């Protein structure tokens, strides 16, 4: 369904549990051959997929807008970012390392190699339907794994488009298959219990991730989890405020706030609170909410009526707790699932909204008198994906970065995502890393052979 119009954009099959298991069996059969392909061959296929995605960027971006709702500029950026995972892992495919060393006692040699895990079940969310798919498929194919891609029911068309691109790039039948069971719970549990799936890579909520880990435990399925975030955005008294506002707009409003990396809690030192709040609110208030395909739109709708309602309820609760709405705070009427860019002041760390992952265009601002003394507040949440710090003092920034309980830190940057970087969090934000060389290792098992020569 198009979040801007409420109209259907296409149809996809609603596979039964049996059909999903048949797809897993095909993936297992294809794995026997795919794992033996030359690394260079896999690399060239991924490189061709990158080139096709770039050549078809506009078509794919338009499709993303139609089923996700984000503005076209964000969708174009997502396609470019998504394609880069295919390029990065095409280069990593030929760098799967091993090791050969003599045992300490000198009597034998230790040969260490890496092998593909097997069939990978990759479950992706609706907020970045292209990038979250390629961030998983790229390393899986580079490692020699086959893939079952379970797309979000809100954005399945993008998943099928990427599978088509991979097929045209040379991926053999059965190596990448999209499944769209709805509801997905029974099918996913059956796949994890089947013994056919040896890897689970999931991006989504902490609640669902915890459930999947428990289900995967039955067959001890290898798991990678990229879960929720509740990122603090810290503005020190020595920060370049204009740069901090620019960074805040990226960290908060990229993808309309529907990102696990989105800045969720703005901690601003008292002496710069008024300046930051004034400039940031002016930028937020200037955003134009509308259909993502319209040239004048700078903020698209939320993906569904349920998400729109959730964001509205969080703002209402914040106001009841004592917050003041400086801009926004309103929903659009049906059929569009829009919510205006919103800035809240007078928010306290103990307020309900501070403990929630908003996943929408709402920025709660919290005043702090001492940035360093407030470190326990920054860490006083269940999640630990990313933090943002703005300060002109690099030493101060590094001390704060080291004190923050997150897997990633943006120091004077509002964007941390990069295909070459290990993306992931600590605490309830997940297990393992995606991207970089670590992302490839997630789809490989280590084998060691003890031999005498």
Which residues, 6 or more positions from 438, have their beta carbon under 8 angstroms from its beta carbon? 422, 424, 432
Peptide bond into 380 cis (omega under 30): no
- Whether residue 285 contacts residue 328, with contact meaning beta carbons closer than 8 Å, is answered with yes
Helix axes 39-55 and 156-169, enclosed angle (nearest 10): 130
**Is 260 assigned a catalytic role?**
yes
Which residues touch 54 (CB under 8 Å, ≥6 apart)?
A: 80, 83
Residue with tokens 């349920």: 306
Question: Is 145 in a helix, a strand, or coil?
Answer: coil
Name the one residue in this structure whose structure tokens are 């020190």.
236
From the candidates 122, 145, 260, 327, give the one annotated as an active-site residue: 260
Decide: helix, strand or coil at residue 6: coil
Q: What is the DSSP letter of 175?
A: T
What is the Cα–Cα distance from 41 to 358, expressed in whole angstroms? Answer: 43
Give the residue carrying structure tokens 């984000």.
70
Q: What is the 3-state secondary structure (H, E, C) of 381-394?
A: CCEECEEEEECCCH
Render 325-392 in DSSP notation, one character per residue. EEE---BPPTT---B--EEEES--TTSGGGGS---SSEEEEEEES-TTTTHHHHH-SSEESEEEEE-S
Q: Which of 92, 226, 357, 434 is catalytic?
A: 226
237 Cβ contact partners less than 8 Å away, ≥ 6 residues apart: 269, 270, 271, 272, 371
Which helix H or strand E contains 149, and what residues bound it? strand 146-150
Instruction: Give the whole-angstrom CA distance, residue 344 versus residue 325.
Output: 5
Q: Tokens in use for 116?
A: 């593909």
Tell me, what DSSP letter sits at residue 293? Answer: T
Catalytic residues: 226, 260
């Amino acid at each position: 369904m198009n979040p801007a119009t409420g109209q259907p954009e296409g149809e996809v099959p609603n596979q039964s549990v049996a059909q999903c298991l048949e797809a897993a069996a095909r993936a297992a059969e294809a794995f026997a051959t795919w794992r033996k392909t030359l690394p260079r061959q896999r690399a060239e296929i991924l490189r061709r997929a990158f080139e096709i995605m770039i050549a078809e960027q506009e078509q794919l971006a338009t499709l993303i807008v139609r089923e996700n709702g984000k503005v076209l500029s964000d969708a174009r950026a997502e396609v470019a970012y998504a394609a880069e995972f295919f390029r990065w892992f095409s280069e990593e495919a030929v760098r799967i390392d091993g090791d050969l060393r003599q045992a300490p006692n000198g009597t034998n040699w230790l040969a260490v190699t890496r092998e593909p895990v097997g069939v990978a079940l990759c479950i992706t969310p609706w907020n970045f339907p292209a990038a979250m798919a390629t961030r998983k498929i790229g390393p899986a194919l580079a490692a020699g794994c086959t893939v079952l891609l379970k797309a979000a029911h809100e954005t399945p068309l993008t998943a099928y488009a990427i599978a088509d691109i991979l097929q045209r790039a040379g991926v053999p039948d059965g190596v990448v298959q999209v499944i769209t069971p709805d509801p997905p719970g029974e099918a996913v549990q059956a796949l994890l219990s089947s013994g056919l799936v040896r890897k689970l890579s999931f991006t989504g909520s902490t609640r669902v991730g915890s459930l999947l880990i428990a289900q995967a435990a039955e067959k001890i399925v290898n798991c990678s989890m990229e879960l929720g975030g509740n990122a603090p955005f810290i503005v020190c008294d020595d920060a370049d405020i204009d740069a901090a506002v620019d960074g805040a707009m990226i960290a908060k409003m990229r993808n309309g706030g529907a990102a696990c990396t989105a800045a969720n809690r703005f901690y601003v030192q008292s002496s710069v609170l008024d300046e930051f709040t004034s400039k940031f609110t002016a930028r937020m208030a200037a955003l134009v909410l509308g259909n993502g395909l319209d040239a004048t739109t700078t903020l698209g709708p939320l993906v569904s009526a349920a998400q729109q309602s959730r964001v509205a309820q969080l703002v209402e609760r914040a106001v009841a707790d004592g917050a003041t709405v400086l801009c926004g705070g309103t929903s659009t009427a049906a059929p569009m699932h829009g919510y205006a860019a919103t800035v809240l002041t007078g928010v306290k760390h103990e307020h309900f909204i501070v403990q929630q992952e908003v996943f929408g265009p709402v920025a709660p601002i919290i005043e702090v008198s001492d940035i360093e003394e407030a470190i326990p507040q920054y860490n006083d949440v269940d999640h630990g994906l990313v933090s943002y710090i703005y300060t002109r003092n690099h030493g101060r920034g590094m001390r704060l970065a080291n004190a923050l309980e997150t897997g990633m830190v943006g120091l004077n940057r509002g964007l941390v995502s990069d295909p070459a970087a290990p993306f992931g969090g600590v605490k309830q934000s997940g297990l393992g890393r995606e991207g970089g060389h670590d992302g490839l290792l997630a789809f490989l098992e280590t084998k060691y052979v003890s031999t005498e020569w």
